[in-house]
């Protein structure tokens, strides 16, 4: 699903016009190109963290490229699909946890549409957006301190994907505070500024810091 056109076609289109024209979706295509470029340069068996793995589309891509993957997914419905999709895969570790800047536990919410069996709605499950979710938490889910988790790994994380429904600001702030981004080849982040004005301000501040400090391996254009 991430290779709808040949790599060199994507590379040429990006550098010839996509990065300048500002058309909707071009920024994400640029993020995809960064991911594909990183994968081409990495050795087989390189370690990837997929935070907010959902049903495993991104994890599956990395596995198909020979990577090792640690997938974080707190949603119990998505988690069941993820486990069934990759049974007995030795290069995949599944963590039934959310990630944040501090370890702990929190209530977890799903959307109303998921009650009707729409598995795609698990992408909107969240620890924070109670306004668009059912009023009762699905469960108390565990939150892993991502910076601490990364520091405890026996090898370098080569790619980190963050799609964590609003928690990306606090995680990125923590990673940058400890300069852990320097130990990761590429960080791909989906941002959710529309969740709140406070979150939009934090993401805006992160964009300015990344630009000011010329941090080239953090991409905030994942979708």
3-state secondary structure the chain: CCCCCCHHHHHHHHHHHHHHHCCCCHHHHHHHHHHHHHHHHCCCCCEEEEECCCCCHHHHHHHHCCCEEEEECCCHHHHHHHHHHCCCCCCEEEECCEEECCCEEEEEECEHHHHHCCHHHHHHCECCCHHHECCCCCEEEEEEEHHHHHHCCCCCEEEEEECCCCCHHHHHHHHHHCCHHHHCCEEEECCCHHHCHHHHHHHHHHHHHHHHCCCCCEECCCC
Q: What is the pLDDT of residue 158?
A: 98
Residues 164, 176: Cα–Cα separation, whole Å:
17
pLDDT digits over 141-154, tens only?
Answer: 999 999 999 999 99
Is the whole model's pTM more than 0.85, yes or no? yes
Q: What is the pLDDT of residue 111?
A: 72
The two beta strands, 218-219 and 186-189, are parallel
Q: Which residues of the chain have pLDDT under 50?
A: none
Q: What is the pLDDT of residue 2?
A: 80
85 Cβ contact partners less than 8 Å away, ≥ 6 residues apart: 55, 56, 60
Structural domains of the chain, ranges and CATH numbers in brackets: 46-103+146-219 (3.40.50.150)
């Amino acid at each position: 699903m991430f290779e709808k056109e040949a790599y060199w076609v994507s590379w040429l289109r990006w550098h010839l016009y996509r990065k300048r024209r500002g058309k909707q979706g071009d920024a994400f295509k640029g993020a995809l190109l960064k991911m594909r470029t990183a994968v081409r340069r990495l050795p087989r068996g390189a370690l990837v963290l997929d935070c907010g793995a959902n049903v495993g589309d991104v994890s599956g891509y990395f596995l198909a490229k020979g990577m090792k993957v640690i997938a974080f997914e707190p949603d119990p419905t998505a988690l069941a699909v993820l486990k069934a999709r990759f049974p007995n895969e030795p290069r995949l570790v599944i963590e039934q946890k959310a990630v944040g800047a501090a370890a702990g536990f929190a209530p977890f919410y799903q959307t109303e549409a998921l009650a009707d069996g729409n598995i795609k709605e698990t992408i909107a499950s969240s620890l924070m957006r109670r306004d668009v979710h059912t009023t009762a938490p699905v469960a108390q889910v565990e939150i892993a301190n991502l910076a601490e988790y990364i520091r405890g790994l026996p090898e370098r994380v080569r790619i980190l994907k963050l799609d964590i429904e609003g928690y990306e600001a606090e995680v990125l702030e923590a990673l940058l505070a400890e300069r852990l981004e320097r130990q990761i080849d590429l960080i791909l982040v989906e941002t959710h500024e529309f969740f709140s004005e406070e979150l939009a301000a934090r993401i805006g501040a992160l964009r300015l810091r990344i630009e000011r400090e010329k941090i080239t391996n953090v991409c905030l254009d994942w979708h």
